Chain A
Amino acid sequence: MIELAPQHKTGLSLKSPIMPASGSAGFAAEYAALIDWSRWGAFVTNPVTARPRPPAGEPVTIDLGAAVLMHAGIPNPGVRAVIDDSRSAWKRMGVPVIVHVAGTTPDDVAECVVRLAIIDEVHAVELGVRDEEDEGAIAALIGAAIEASEKPVLVRLPFERAAEFAATCVDAGAKALVVAAPPRGTLLHGDGFVSGRIYGRGVLPLALRAVREVHALVDAPIVASGGVHAVEDARAMLSAGAVAVQVDALIWRDPKAALAIAEAFATD
């Protein structure tokens, strides 16, 4: 068993180190016809906010062949609707469910986490923090999440500032760190620049470097995320100091290949 929250009273034990990254697998049952989540270590939901959030005004999908730049905003129906719509599917998954809460404001985070706190099917919260925050704001977000629930709080670090924010997050009470959110990028598209997150196997060496940096800085479980497209990629992340690994856009590109990674680490 892998323990993601060793200092926490309920803990967060996983049978396998492999889980989907937030934003990749939906809120619950979207991939039910293609992926057996019971073969994974945990299920991580798409980001949720306290209130419904519309999609980005102009979603971006620019396929570069080896990678893709995407921007959808954080479209979600709000935490209440997510709970109502997903609870029965979470119960059937047979693995711990980690709900990703978008770190917008402390009040929003608290409102979200309070609602999740009473849901037995939710085992932990993954809090996403933005790269434009300062350390005080990040500590306030984490504090709001911890105050609102007794469930373990993981923090997903922004790619560009993962090492810079890692100690602050652990000091503020994060039980584990997800290293990291997909990196942001910009492309010239038509007459203007568009920005979004970058997905692809090319992200792997960047993520691996970030994992090693954070591992050297803090004594907390690390969940590696970024560019994992094969079993050997996941093993590299574990060798770099991670205790668990998230798979992101490979799930969209090739659900069978994503499942094969999970199967390689599954314990029967």
Chain B
Amino acid sequence: MRQTLAEIAAIDAVGPFCRVRFSAPDLAAALEPGRAVLARWPDAYLRRAWWPCAIDADAFSVLAHPAQIESLRTGDRVDVLGPVGRGFQVDVATRNLLLVAGSTSLAFTLGPLLPLADRALPEGRSVTLAFAAPNPEVAYPVSSLSPAIEVIRAMDTDLIDLLSDAIAWADQVLACGPTGFTTRLSAHIRSIRRPAPRGFFQALNPVHLPCGVGACGVCRTGSRLACVDGPVFELNESEVNERGLS
């Protein structure tokens, strides 16, 4: 873990969202999908946790709503701390990867899954990405995704109801969303894949991580700290993580 200054290299519109690219060579090299970056933010006392939507050798990007970043400009330097926590673990044997964004706050729940797709496709894995977008105007633009990714988009139905075939197909299900969603998804997975192999279902709940090192205790549930033991938890583990979306 390190605290460093990351320079904003670019801010690009992606549908209704903005993608902010930070140049931070010493931090980017240590990032993994699911691990967080805590950034100082002009309107906040505490750092804000971001889960990168893209990770390169010397830079990372985050997905944000335009209102969240209206004070930021290209060239600004932002104090960041990371990487925080334990990320997703993709098994070397996995061929079929199901990624599930579990709320309509897609900047929070879809963004953290995108680096998994970025890494999986060049490795020859098949990727299905599922998310709910009842209002197409605020949905993540499918056209910006690789055409190799199969997309399941729930418009006016429960996303989980659409996932049975994909769960049966998947070697791993990696999800991001609030506990209520991941708990329901977990139950659905167990009704289809029982017993599920170790690491089959992993879920990230993008919660507040005020300190990021396990000192403040705010993200503790039972004996687990989201910032140290998570924020990605395996099946069953995710059910003890009872925090809401940040």
What residues make up the interface of B, taking CB atoms closer than 8 Å to A? 1-3, 40, 43-47, 79, 81, 208, 210-211, 213-223, 243
Q: Roughly how many angstroms separate A31 CA and B59 CA in the complex, as a whole number?
A: 25
Q: Roughly how many angstroms separate A262 CA and B62 CA in the complex, as a whole number?
A: 33
Contact status B45-A253, CB under 8 Å: yes
Q: Which of A70-78, A96-104, A207-215 contacts B (4 or more CB under 8 A)?
A: A70-78
Q: Roughly how many angstroms separate A254 CA and B234 CA in the complex, as a whole number?
A: 31
CB distance from A72 to the nearest CB of B (A): 4
Interface size on A, residues (CB 8 A): 34
Total A-B contacts with CB atoms under 8 angstroms apart: 84
Contact status A252-B3, CB under 8 Å: no
Q: Roughly how many angstroms separate A255 CA and B79 CA in the complex, as a whole number?
A: 11
Contact status A70-B221, CB under 8 Å: no
Q: Roughly how many angstroms separate A253 CA and B243 CA in the complex, as a whole number?
A: 21
Whether A67 is near chain B, meaning CB under 8 Å from some CB there, is yes
Contacts A61-B210, A63-B45, A65-B44 given: A75-B220 contact, CB under 8 Å?
Answer: yes
- In chain A, residues 22-46, which have Cβ atoms closer than 8 Å to a Cβ of chain B? 23-26, 30-31, 33-34, 46
Contacts A65-B44, A66-B45 given: A252-B211 contact, CB under 8 Å?
Answer: yes
Q: Roughly how many angstroms separate A66 CA and B43 CA in the complex, as a whole number?
A: 8
Interface SS of chain A: loop
Contact status A251-B1, CB under 8 Å: no
Contact status A61-B215, CB under 8 Å: no
Q: Roughly how many angstroms separate A256 CA and B1 CA in the complex, as a whole number?
A: 13
CB distance from B182 to the nearest CB of A (A): 19
Which residues in B have their C-beta under 8 angstroms from that of A185?
Answer: none
Which residues in A have their C-beta under 8 angstroms from that of B222?
Answer: 54-55
Contact status A33-B221, CB under 8 Å: no
Contact pick for B45, options A26, A59, A67, A77, CB 8 Å: A67
Q: What are 13 contact pairs spanning A and B, CB under 8 A?
A: A23-B217, A24-B216, A30-B214, A31-B213, A33-B1, A63-B46, A64-B45, A70-B218, A75-B217, A200-B45, A252-B210, A255-B3, A256-B3
Instruction: List 14 additional A-B contacts (Cβ < 8 Å) besides A24-B216, A72-B217, A252-B46.
Output: A25-B215, A33-B213, A34-B213, A46-B217, A55-B217, A55-B220, A55-B222, A59-B217, A61-B218, A72-B218, A249-B45, A252-B211, A252-B215, A253-B45
